[in-house]
């Protein structure tokens, strides 16, 4: 094409202003009710989101309202960097402050597993599901996000969202084979989930344990968790914007995940 980058950007600005390109918010609201990932009690825990008022137009500060908040790097809708996992610990540019910023804007492929997950919360995304997707929507391009749509974010009750029973957590995720395929055969940028982890709730029992973390981060790829509104995205063509906080040697951070999508006619 002969359009200059400035033209592309100008065109994008116009399209946004005119509503022909819309922005979809894929982020859960950060609040103390939002579940944090719960490890066994012997492990260090990711802190849940907590917010405490400094002042609220009162004797602590008459004209203003502001808060202090605290949370873990992996609280709420958040980004996983390769350094988060042991398999990615030694890779170059593997922390949120050193990842090339170009990677924070990338196309997204949305694979819909919501029908299967409705019957089976432990559903694992398989290579067959990927094949099925590509047959309808085309090959997953290199450098794209693969987002597993499960409609899990519509579980607003924290108990249902976490979905624990005596045998542990039951949330959907990718199978080992699916992850390896995406990494080795499709060179994806990263994997995104609506559930609390990129790996399935029972992922500990897969081989290797937590295969999405293991293989994605081991290959220097990224993860996104606690996404919402994936049902508002087209199966292909959305552009994901997901820059994490620039935390020194950070393993991840809560962030705002946005998608640019074309308006349907």
Partner 1 sequence: MTMPLMKPPRKNPVLRTRQMNLPPGARGRVALGLMAAAAEGRFALQVCADCGALQYPPREACHRCLSPRLPWQAQTGEGELLAATTLAHSNDLFFRERLPWRLGMVRLDAGASVMVHLHGEVGEAPCRVRVGARLDRAGQAVLIGYPEKGTAHMADDTMLREMTSDPKHRKVLVTDGKSPVGQAVARAMAQAGADIVWVGHAEPWKQLPGLAELAALPQVTLVPLDVTDERSVNERAGEIGGKVDIVVNTAELHRGFGIAARRGTDVAKSEMEVNYFGLLRLAQAFGPALKGRAADGATHATAWVNLLSVYALANFPSHGTFSASKAAALSLAQCLRAEMRGAGIRVVNVFPGPIDDEWNQNLPPPKLAPAALASAIVKALRDGVEDVYPGDVAQEWLARWRDNPKVLERELAAGGM
Residue placing its CB nearer to partner 1 in the complex, 9 or 51: 51
Pull the structure tokens for residue 226: 């606690």
Q: Is 38 in the site for partner 1 (CB under 8 A)?
A: yes
Q: x-or-dash pattern for partner 1, window 100-139, by CB under 8 A?
A: ----------------------------------------
Alpha-carbon dihedral angle through residues 24, 144, 93, 6, given to the nearest 10 degrees = -70
Residues pairing with 15 in the sheet: none
Whether residue 75 contacts residue 46, with contact meaning beta carbons closer than 8 Å, is answered with yes
Contacts of 107 (CB under 8 A, 6+ apart): 141, 143, 144, 145, 236, 237, 238, 239, 240
Q: Which helix (H) or strand (E) holds 191?
A: strand 190-193
The piece of 134-142, 155-163, 179-187, 222-230 that touches partner 1 (CB under 8 A) is: 155-163
Least separation in angstroms between residue 32's CB and partner 1 is 4
Residue of 11, 14, 39, 53 that binds partner 1 (CB under 8 A): 53
Side-chain half-sphere exposure of 76, counting CA atoms within 13 A: 22
Q: Does 52 bind partner 1 (CB under 8 A)?
A: yes
C-beta of 263: minimal distance to partner 1 in Å? 37
| Residue 50 contacts partner 1 per CB under 8 A | yes
Which residue among 90, 119, 165, 248 contacts partner 1 (CB under 8 A)?
165
Candidates 11, 61, 158, 208: give the one binding partner 1 (CB under 8 A). 158
* 155 C-beta neighbours (distance < 10 Å), count: 18
Q: Give catalytic residue positions.
A: 84
**Nearest distance in Å: CB 33, partner 1:** 8
Among all chains, which residue has been given the structure tokens 């957590």? 169
Q: Which of residues 28, 87, 153, 163 is near partner 1 by CB under 8 A?
A: 163
| Residue 32 in the binding site for partner 1 (CB under 8 A) | yes
Distance from C-alpha of 120 to C-alpha of 163, rounded to nearest angstrom: 12
Dihedral angle sign, alpha carbons of residues 16, 19, 23, 29: positive
The answer to whether residues 106 and 144 touch, using CB atoms and an 8 Å cutoff, is yes
Residues that bind partner 1 (CB under 8 A): 32, 35, 38, 44-45, 47-48, 50-53, 158-159, 161-166
């Amino acid at each position: 094409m002969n359009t200059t980058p400035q033209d592309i950007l100008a065109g994008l600005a116009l399209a946004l202003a005119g509503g022909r390109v819309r922005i979809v918010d894929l982020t859960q609201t950060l609040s103390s009710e939002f579940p944090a990932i719960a490890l066994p009690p012997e492990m260090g825990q990711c802190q849940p989101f907590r917010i405490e008022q400094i002042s609220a137009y009162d004797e602590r500060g008459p004209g203003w309202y502001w808060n202090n908040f605290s949370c873990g790097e992996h609280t709420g809708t958040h980004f996983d960097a390769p350094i988060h996992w042991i398999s990615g610990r030694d890779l170059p540019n593997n922390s949120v402050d050193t990842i090339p910023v170009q990677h924070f804007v990338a196309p997204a492929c949305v694979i819909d597993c919501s029908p299967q997950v409705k019957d089976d919360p432990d559903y694992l995304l398989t290579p067959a599901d990927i094949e099925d997707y590509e047959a309808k929507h085309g090959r997953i391009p290199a450098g794209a996000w693969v987002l597993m749509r499960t409609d899990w974010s519509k579980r607003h009750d924290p108990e249902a969202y976490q979905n624990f029973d005596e045998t542990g957590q039951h949330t959907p995720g990718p199978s080992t084979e699916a992850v390896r395929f995406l990494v080795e055969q499709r060179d994806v940028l990263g994997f995104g989930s609506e559930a609390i982890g990129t790996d399935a709730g029972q992922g500990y029992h897969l081989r290797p344990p937590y295969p999405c973390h293991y293989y994605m981060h081991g290959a220097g790829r990224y993860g996104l968790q606690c996404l919402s509104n994936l049902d508002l995205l087209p199966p292909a063509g959305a552009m994901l914007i997901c820059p994490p906080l620039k935390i020194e040697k950070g393993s991840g951070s809560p962030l705002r995940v946005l998608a640019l999508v074309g308006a349907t006619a």
